Amino acid sequence: MFKDEAAAVCNTARGKLNLLEKNPAGYLMMSMLAGLFIGLGSILMGTVGGLFTAGGAYSTRLINGLVFSVGLCLVTMAGAELFTGNNFVMAVAGFRKTESWGKIVKLWVICWIGNLIGSVITAAIFTGTGLATGDIGTYMANLAVTKASGGVIDLFAKAVMCNICVCLAIWCGAKMKSEGGKIAMNICCVVTFVTCGFEHSVANMTFFAVGLMNPNGMAISIGGVIMNLIVVTIGNMIGGIVCVALPYYLISKDKQ
């Protein structure tokens, strides 16, 4: 079961590695674009969340999930290299031994760095607009403070759950025959992890960058930011690799 779909994922992984090997600058640019796209979703979430929270809305998390999904939709529809989604794609190729783990880890590292660069640039541009003030700025700064002060176990568990959702969106997208179906699955999975309050490493890059550039009188711990990104990145990897890629690899492998 799922042999054809798993093979298609491996072909996708080969294409990613081909791009990295033949055009590393191009691959880095695609990773930066993913940081930009997820950053746009994060900023939209912060804007809507700030306005709805100020208005006393009780459904802010659900609304945030709906609007944040634009980020993953842009990644999958426009084409970009997202670290969290690549945890699943590349791990499937690694488990099926179509690609070496050394090359896979190298791609993950470059992709993460590119996502970070794109996220910081997006946050800087948003800061330059002067819109990260008032209710919006306060909401995003509060979000950054909360994330930077989270406990290690809590952050790790939330990160695992988050990337289960993201990687399921990628896996379902590989099985969908229409772009509309892919978008629908993106929205369903993103609404799930945002509404539940799970942790996404790349989204956090933008939240922290905006919060640090526009603290709005709040003290955001640099150490807390670094700890969050490390713990959440590891948790995202476990969620994508162990909880999604490994099970579907085992389901799709030939009987020994």
Digit-coded pLDDT (tens) for 147-196: 999 999 999 999 999 999 999 999 999 888 889 999 999 999 999 999 99
Q: How many domains in the chain?
A: 1
Asked whether the beta carbons of 190 and 69 are under 8 A apart, the reply is yes
The boundaries of the domain holding residue 9 are 3-252
> Which pTM was predicted?
0.94
**Residues near 56 by beta carbon (within 8 Å), at least 6 away in sequence:** none
Digit-coded pLDDT (tens) for 38-62: 999 999 999 999 988 876 766 788 8
Q: What is the overall mean pLDDT for the chain?
A: 94
CATH number at residue 71: 1.20.1080.10
Predicted confidence (pLDDT) at residue 140 exceeds the cutoff of 80: yes
Digit-coded pLDDT (tens) for 113-126: 999 999 999 999 99
